[in-house]
């Protein structure tokens, strides 16, 4: 029997009305990541959010099956890609941003504080001039900035904690909240990467939970639980407030911070992080080829516990 957590699963969450988007969630089993298509049902204009460029950390090879799958869904549903969006420079997968921009002619975008994240990692890699997000992304979204997906109104929420510059995208009754919340039975995401902060993550989550109760929250990752063996990625604000094991109504800030930090202290680095950040801070591009025509990554030694 096939393990659902190892399968490429797709689910469609249909629009709930004229201001509500169609949403497709596409599960990427190697990293437990969920990729999204957010589309205006009327105009068929769509944003692609947090799409994966597949990377094998065993032999440092790349493949395109995830972005191919996402673009196939786009074609099958008669959609046109208007935006290629990421919520933050991911630590556990390589972003497909630059490739999708080339394949769709849509602009790529991320948050305005990503240059500050780039400075942290430029120091960790000792690559002072390696990263220039202002060049590698077409747009850097400011906090509360408004934009459109087709005729639908969308806006940006600054959601730091997992990284210092993470953002969420809110479009109608859908919010793409990345590595803040997990599913209600799994809690919340880690906050121990360079530039992360547990107290800031708490505040970001409170802002998200202040959205209308029927808002559909779409998370960045799911790994199942001991009881739940199938991936999930959608739950409403009301469901999180009632049932989220880390932040449901009645949870005290200091209790959450202590619990999250205790859990984070047990977690190891993701196996893709040191490769992924070098690429993602270039907008999903490899470092420039060297004189032999090949690309090389630099790995810091003894910089992390």
Per-chain mean pLDDT for the chain: 96
d(CA 253, CA 269): 26
DSSP 6: G
pLDDT of residue 213: 98
Contacts of 123 (CB under 8 A, 6+ apart): none
Rg (CA), the chain: 18
Residue 195 carries which DSSP code? Answer: T
pLDDT at 109 over 60: yes
Neighbours of 170 (CB within 10 A): 19
pLDDT tens figures, 77-92: 999 999 999 999 999 9
DSSP state of 122: H
Determine the straight-line distance between the first and last CA of the chain, rounded to whole angstroms.
Answer: 39
157 and 198 Cβ atoms separated by less than 8 Å: no
Domains and CATH numbers, the chain: 4-280 (3.60.15.10)
| Mean pLDDT on 91-110 | 97
Binning pLDDT at 50, 70 and 90, where does residue 4 land? confident
Please give the pLDDT value at position 3. 78
- Strand pairing category for 152-158 and 167-171: antiparallel
Q: Averaged over 255-273, what is the pLDDT?
A: 95
pLDDT at 2: 66
| pLDDT value of position 153 | 98
């Amino acid at each position: 029997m096939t393990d659902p957590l190892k399968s490429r699963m797709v689910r469609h969450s249909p629009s709930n009305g004229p201001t509500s988007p169609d949403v497709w969630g596409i599960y990427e089993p190697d990293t437990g990541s969920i990729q999204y298509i957010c589309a205006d049902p009327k105009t068929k204009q769509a944003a692609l959010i947090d799409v994966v460029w597949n990377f094998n950390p065993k032999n440092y090879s790349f493949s395109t099956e995830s972005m191919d799958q996402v673009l196939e869904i786009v074609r099958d549903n008669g959609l046109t890609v208007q935006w290629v969006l990421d919520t933050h420079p991911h630590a556990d997968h390589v972003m497909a941003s630059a490739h999708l921009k080339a394949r769709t002619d849509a602009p790529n975008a991320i948050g305005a504080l990503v240059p500050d994240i780039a400075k942290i990692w430029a120091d960790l890699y000792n690559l002072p001039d390696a990263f220039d997000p202002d060049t590698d992304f077409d747009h850097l979204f400011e906090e509360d900035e408004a934009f459109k997906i087709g005729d639908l109104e969308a806006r940006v929420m600054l959601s730091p904690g997992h990284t210092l510059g993470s953002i969420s995208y809110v479009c109608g009754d859908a919010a793409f909240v990345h590595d803040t919340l997990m599913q209600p039975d799994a809690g919340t995401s880690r906050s121990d990467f360079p530039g992360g902060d547990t107290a800031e993550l708490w505040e970001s989550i409170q802002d998200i939970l202040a959205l209308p109760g029927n808002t559909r929250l779409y998370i960045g990752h799911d790994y199942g639980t001991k009881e739940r063996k199938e991936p999930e990625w959608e739950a409403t604000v009301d469901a999180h407030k009632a049932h989220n094991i880390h932040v449901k109504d009645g949870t005290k800030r200091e209790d959450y911070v202590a619990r999250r930090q205790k859990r984070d202290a047990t977690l190891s680095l993701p196996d893709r992080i040191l490769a992924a950040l070098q690429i993602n801070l270039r907008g999903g591009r490899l470092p420039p080829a060297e004189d032999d025509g090949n690309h090389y990554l630099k790995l810091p030694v003894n910089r992390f516990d």
